[in-house]
């Protein structure tokens, strides 16, 4: 997955815009501005509840086109917070980083390789309100400090391993070269490892695990652990939004091309590869590797409605041209309808564990 998606030469994300109706898939922020606005309001609400610590960092992992960051930036600006924060975008794609800068910066500069090698960022910009924006290759490169962290459809693209229980031991499903391909398209195949691999050896299932086949993302575990440690040390809030499950699904690895399912082994680099996020792994990792208080996961539709999405919808409809009203209404319905994206996508919030009693007294918006 890492090679197919982020190889500098032929990686899926590296040199083109893959989002939106003209690409291979569409994301919630692209469907309706309501999504980004409510996420932004949620961040401001929880930040104020913690005493409005300033200055703070607004961090997004894998910002895509930059639509969510732009909509959240608008909310922060409406609350006149422009001078209190800096933006930090974790993005590995040179193409997408430029696309993001064009979306919410009035000026930006990509550093030379020599200059970027000496700094934690490789691109810098300034928003219309004067906030500084920095682009980093890794979460580790984001400066220490109180942070509001968003991860929307980020963890689903991190490499995952397929494991299968054989005679009491976990073996890994690997991808091999087809010895006698019937045609040029069928060059790869799935094979089961003959013995334990490094990943299947270090994998430790939960005591209540009943699945004999599952997906395990070592990279998700690593990055969630890093995020948890940063929140515990520096303070902050994180909101993870992705499609996923709570430790019950088995085989979700798939590919999308032109908004349709595609064989992941065909034409590597031409389609998006993804796997559902295991929110049970995310939650257990956050709580064990950092003293973290987690809320959720809950369904996207529930979160948006509890954040007064219906009210915002009516406001937009009241000011919209008649020919645009159905587009606005159907977009919000797509985000909240359980039969569409409302149930499939989950939200999980992370706070420093020291705030547990405070948040029990003042419940987290959208989660109760």
Q: Tell me the per-residue pLDDT of 123-158, one tens digit each, with 9 for 90 and over.
A: 999 998 899 999 999 999 999 999 999 999 999 999
Q: Taking a C-beta distance cutoff of 8 angstroms, is the pair 123, 103 a contact?
A: no
Residues 221 and 131 in one domain: yes
Q: Virtual CA dihedral for 192, 198, 201, 207, nearest 10 degrees?
A: -90
Tell me what pLDDT residue 62 has. 97
Residue 345 in tokens: 């996508």
Tell me what pLDDT residue 14 has. 79
pTM for this prediction: 0.94
Residues 307 and 276 in one domain: yes
Distance, in Å, from the CA atom of 179 to the CA atom of 186, rounded to the nearest integer, reads 10
Check whether the bond before 55 is cis (ω within 30° of 0). yes
Q: What band does 51 get if pLDDT is binned at 50, 70 and 90?
A: very high
Average pLDDT over residues 29-49: 97
Residues 151 and 189 in one domain: no
Residues 128 and 44 in one domain: yes
Residue 95 in tokens: 């193409």
The answer as to whether 367 is a domain residue is: no
Instruction: State the helix-helix crossing angle for 33-49 and 309-319, rounded to 10 degrees.
Output: 130
**Domain coverage including residue 189:** 161-215
Sequence-distant (≥ 6) Cβ neighbours of residue 322 within 8 angstroms: none
Q: How many CB atoms lie within 10 A of CB 259?
A: 11
**Tens digit of each residue's pLDDT (9 = 90 or more) over 319-338:** 999 999 999 999 999 999 99
**Tens digit of each residue's pLDDT (9 = 90 or more) over 176-213:** 998 877 776 778 999 999 998 999 999 999 888 899 99
Residue 274 in tokens: 């993804």
Q: What band does 267 get if pLDDT is binned at 50, 70 and 90?
A: confident
Residues 108 and 240 in one domain: yes
Residues 193 and 313 in one domain: no
Q: Taking a C-beta distance cutoff of 8 angstroms, is the pair 327, 321 a contact?
A: no
Q: Which residues pair with 212 in a beta bridge?
A: none
Ramachandran angles phi, psi of 256, nearest 5°:
-125, 135
> How many domains is the chain partitioned into structurally?
2
Residues 221 and 206 in one domain: no
Tell me what pLDDT residue 15 has. 74
**Tens digit of each residue's pLDDT (9 = 90 or more) over 270-324:** 889 999 999 999 999 999 998 999 999 999 999 999 999 999 999 999 999 999 9
Residues 251 and 309 in one domain: yes
The answer as to whether 231 is a domain residue is: yes
pLDDT over 70 at 23, yes or no: no
Residues 181 and 153 in one domain: no
Q: Outline where 236-355 has alpha helix (H).
A: 279-289, 300-306, 309-319, 322-336
The answer as to whether 119 is a domain residue is: yes
Where are the extended beta strands (E) located within the chain?
Answer: 56-61, 85-90, 107-110, 123-126, 132-136, 147-152, 161-166, 169-177, 188-192, 213-216, 236-245, 254-257, 260-262, 272-274, 277-278, 292-299, 345-352
Tell me what pLDDT residue 268 has. 86
The answer as to whether 152 is a domain residue is: yes
Q: What is the mean pLDDT of the chain?
A: 93
Q: How distant, in Å, are the alpha carbons of 171, 178, 263, 354 from that of 182?
A: 28, 9, 16, 59
- Domain of residue 335, CATH code: 3.40.50.12710
The answer as to whether 188 is a domain residue is: yes
Residues 238 and 185 in one domain: no
């Amino acid at each position: 997955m890492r090679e197919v998606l982020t190889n500098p030469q032929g990686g899926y994300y590296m040199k083109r815009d893959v989002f939106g109706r003209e690409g291979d898939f569409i994301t919630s922020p692209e469907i309706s501005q309501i999504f980004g606005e409510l996420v932004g309001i949620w961040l401001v609400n929880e930040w104020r509840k913690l005493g409005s610590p300033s200055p703070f960092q607004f961090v997004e992992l894998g910002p895509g086109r930059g639509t969510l960051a732009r909509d959240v930036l608008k909310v922060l600006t409406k609350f006149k917070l422009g001078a209190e924060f800096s933006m930090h975008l974790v993005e590995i794609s040179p193409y997408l980083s430029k696309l993001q800068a064009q979306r919410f910066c009035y000026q930006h500069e990509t550093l030379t390789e020599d200059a970027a090698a000496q700094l934690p960022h490789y691109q810098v910009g300034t928003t219309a309100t004067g906030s500084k924006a920095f682009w980093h290759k890794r979460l580790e490169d984001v400066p220490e400090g109180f942070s509001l962290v968003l991860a929307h459809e980020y963890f689903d693209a991190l490499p995952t391993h397929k494991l299968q229980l054989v005679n009491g031991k976990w073996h890994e499903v690997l991808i091999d070269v087809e010895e006698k391909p019937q045609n040029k398209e069928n060059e790869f195949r799935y094979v089961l490892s003959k013995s334990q691999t490094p990943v299947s050896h270090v994998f430790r299932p939960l005591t209540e695990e009943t699945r004999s086949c599952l997906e395990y993302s070592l990279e998700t575990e690593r990055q969630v652990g890093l995020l948890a440690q940063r929140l515990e040390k520096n303070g902050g809030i994180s909101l993870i939004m992705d499609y996923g499950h709570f430790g019950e699904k088995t085989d979700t690895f798939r590919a999308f091309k032109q908004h349709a399912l595609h064989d992941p082994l065909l034409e590597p680099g031409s389609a998006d590869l993804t796997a559902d996020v295991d929110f049970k792994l995310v939650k257990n990792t956050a709580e064990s590797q950092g003293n973290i208080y987690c809320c959720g996961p809950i369904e996207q539709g529930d979160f948006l409605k509890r954040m007064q999405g219906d009210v915002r919808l009516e406001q937009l409809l009241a000011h919209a041209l008649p020919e645009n009203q159905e587009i606005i209404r159907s977009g919000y319905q797509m985000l909240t309808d359980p039969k569409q994206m409302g149930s499939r996508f989950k939200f999980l919030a992370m706070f420093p564990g020291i705030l547990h009693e405070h948040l029990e007294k003042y419940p987290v918006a959208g989660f109760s």
